[in-house]
């Protein structure tokens, strides 16, 4: 287990603030040992909660041309046929994974290939499970031409708590299945759009692990 690079500065600043608050409380409440201990305990819990959010566990990754891996840890909240208007302008199968604040928030490439399209969209901060969050929230859209041929679109979506999306890919990049393509801070969602003939390997409500759980199998011609 290691701490993700996106959290190191936040954790350092948080630690300094909490230490300063403890010094102030202890200074103004001299003799109130119980109050001071309770406050110190509460700040330790706050720090540990933030610390666990930025954990980055080691994953045994594997690659396969026609299998898509979950792009993030979380729960499958959507499996449905939808019209995808941003890039494909046709019907696709959508799989959505909701990431709660206690999930690992690293986002990973679901498949290997070349990035054909990338775009960042500023937007709102609706709760991540809201149907309109996919098109109205702050988000990124990535389209990868997989090594097996089919195009796969995946989208980072900020939620009500997430206020910053980080990405590490650009158009023209070669990406490897399971490697990090970004990070979303404090609660979010990832959508995946695949061709209609794709075989879905997960169910609604199923918990998945990024870079480890197979979510679907592409049909290779």
Burial class (CB in 10 A: 0-12, 13-18, 19+), 78: middle
Choice among 96, 112, 134, 188 that is catalytic? 188
* Residue 188 annotated in active site: yes
Together in a domain, 129 and 25? no
Could you read off the pLDDT tens digit of each residue along the chain, which spans 221 residues? 677 666 677 778 888 888 888 888 788 877 777 777 787 888 888 888 777 677 776 676 667 888 999 999 999 999 999 999 999 999 999 999 998 877 877 889 999 999 999 999 886 656 555 555 566 678 899 999 998 889 999 999 886 555 578 888 999 999 999 888 888 876 688 999 999 999 999 999 999 998 889 999 998 76
- The dihedral region occupied by 211, where left means phi > 0, alpha psi between -120 and 50, and beta the remainder, is left
Output the domain CATH number for residue 185.
Answer: 2.70.70
Domain boundary (13, 35, 56) is at 56
Number of domains in the chain: 2
Under a CB-based contact definition with an 8 Å cutoff, are residues 91 and 83 in contact? yes
Query: Degrees (nearest 5) of the Cα angle 78, 152, 106?
Result: 65
- Structure tokens belonging to residue 15: 């630690």
Name residue, tokens 């898509």.
Answer: 68
Domain with 74, as residue range(s), is 67-217
Q: Is 62 within the bounds of a domain?
A: no
Together in a domain, 40 and 71? no
Together in a domain, 73 and 119? yes
Residue 152's closest CA among 192, 197, 191?
192
Together in a domain, 103 and 133? yes
């Amino acid at each position: 287990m290691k701490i993700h690079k996106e959290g190191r500065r936040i954790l350092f600043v948080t630690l300094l603030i909490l230490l300063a608050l403890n010094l102030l409380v202890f200074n103004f409440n001299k003799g109130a040992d119980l109050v001071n201990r309770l406050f110190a305990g509460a700040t330790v819990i706050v720090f540990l909660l933030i610390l666990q959010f930025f954990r980055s566990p080691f994953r045994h990754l594997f690659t396969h041309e026609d299998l898509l891996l979950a792009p993030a840890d979380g729960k499958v909240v959507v499996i449905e046929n939808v019209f995808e208007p941003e890039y494909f302008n046709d019907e696709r199968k959508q799989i959505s994974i909701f990431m709660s604040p206690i999930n690992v928030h690293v986002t990973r490439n679901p498949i290997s290939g070349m990035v054909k399209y990338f775009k960042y969209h500023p937007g709102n901060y609706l709760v991540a499970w809201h149907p309109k969050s996919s098109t109205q929230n702050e988000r990124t859209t990535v389209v990868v031409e997989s090594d097996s041929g089919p195009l796969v679109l995946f989208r980072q979506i900020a939620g009500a708590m997430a206020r910053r999306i980080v990405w590490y890919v650009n158009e023209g990049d070669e990406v490897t299945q399971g490697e990090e393509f970004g990070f979303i801070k404090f609660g979010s969602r990832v959508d995946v759009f695949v061709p209609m003939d794709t075989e879905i390997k997960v169910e609604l409500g199923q918990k998945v692990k990024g870079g480890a759980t197979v979510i679907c199998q592409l049909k290779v011609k």
